[in-house]
Amino acid sequence: MPYLLSSDMPTEPAGLRFRALIERGGILRLPGAHNGMAGIQARNAGFEALYLSGAAMTASMGLPDLGIITVDEVSFFIRQVARASGLPVLVDGDTGYGEALNVMHMVRTFEDAGAGAVHLEDQLLPKKCGHLNDKKLADARDMAAKVAAAAKARRHLYVVARTDAAASEGMDGAVARAKMYMEAGADAIFPEALNTAEMFREFAARMPGVPLLANMTEFGRTPFFTANEFEEMGYRMVIWPVSSLRVANKAQEKLYGTIARDGSTKAMLEDMQTRAELYAAIGLDDYEALDASIVATVIPEPIDGK
């Protein structure tokens, strides 16, 4: 129970824990977790770190991913995912919410909220999902200044610089930007929207020794590759940014359609997390055991065997 018991709290900052996972070798698998429950379920499945996607955060709020939400709104998501899972979280920092001072404020706020890592992208506002068309790129020197500001502000936070340049400036432009961002203080590079195995391999070959992040989003420009395939191509991290939200949204859509059609949820029971499963996931018994004033919960007997 990482939230209430100090004895269960990690002894090292999230940034140091994230860095150690990268430096041990192999590829770090970072599934997207769009809320605290998703974080718990990912941790229980055996993952060691998580990803918090800007697209997932905004979509869960009913908004498009256009750089609309604020540092404080993102911090709410960071706190719940980091607190619930106890894992280091890589957070989508969009364009940094402004210029150098804004980036430094973002870094300090995210680190205080419990983030282990952040990535910054070289787009101009209004920014777009990296797999969409007509993205507007920032000047490479302006982006490098943001990376330098992030490195100056962080205590332990792992800084990933994302470049969306491959689509408009080609591989040469993306590599040149990535090298500039590493010189400015980035710990790793995220080349967004590469669309063939050959592009992934070429980028890795031209950035020897640099930790690289791959984005395995569905319905985008990147073909499906496994984590092991990305590792073979030279990548140290892979994210599945919006997968948990896509699955949850599809299930909710089916639920609401069922209620509208039947006036009942009975047909959906087999697809539901039971009360017992929910309480086990959130550790209700453990919380109750910490407070003698709470009478232990007795789960109702299921009706009709459900």
Residue positions annotated with a catalytic role: 51, 65, 92, 94, 119, 121, 129, 162, 192, 215
Reduce the DSSP state of residue 217 to 3 states and report it: coil
Report the alpha-carbon distance of residue 49 to residue 10 in Å, rounded: 13
Q: Which residues are within 8 A (CB) of 287 and not within 5 positions of it... i.e. 6 or more apart?
A: 1, 4, 294
Torsion angle of the four alpha carbons 271, 52, 233, 226, in this order, in degrees rounded to the nearest 10:
0
In which residue are the tokens 């129970």 written? 1
Q: What is the DSSP string of 7-51?
A: GGS-SS-HHHHHHHHHHT-S-EEEEB--SHHHHHHHHHTT-S-EE
Does residue 233 sit in helix, strand or coil? coil
- Burial string for 204-240 (b: 16+ CB within 10 Å, else e) reads bebbeebbbbbbbbeebbbeebebebbbebbbbbbbb
For residue 164, the one-letter residue type is D
* Phi, psi for residue 125 in degrees, rounded to 5: -75, 145
Picking from 212, 110, 205, 124, the residue whose alpha carbon sits closest to that of residue 164 is 124
CA distance 172 to 178: 10
* Cα within 13 Å of Cα(206), Cβ side: 17
Calpha distance 236→20 (Å, rounded): 12
- Reference 213, options 115, 71, 117, 113; nearest CA is 117
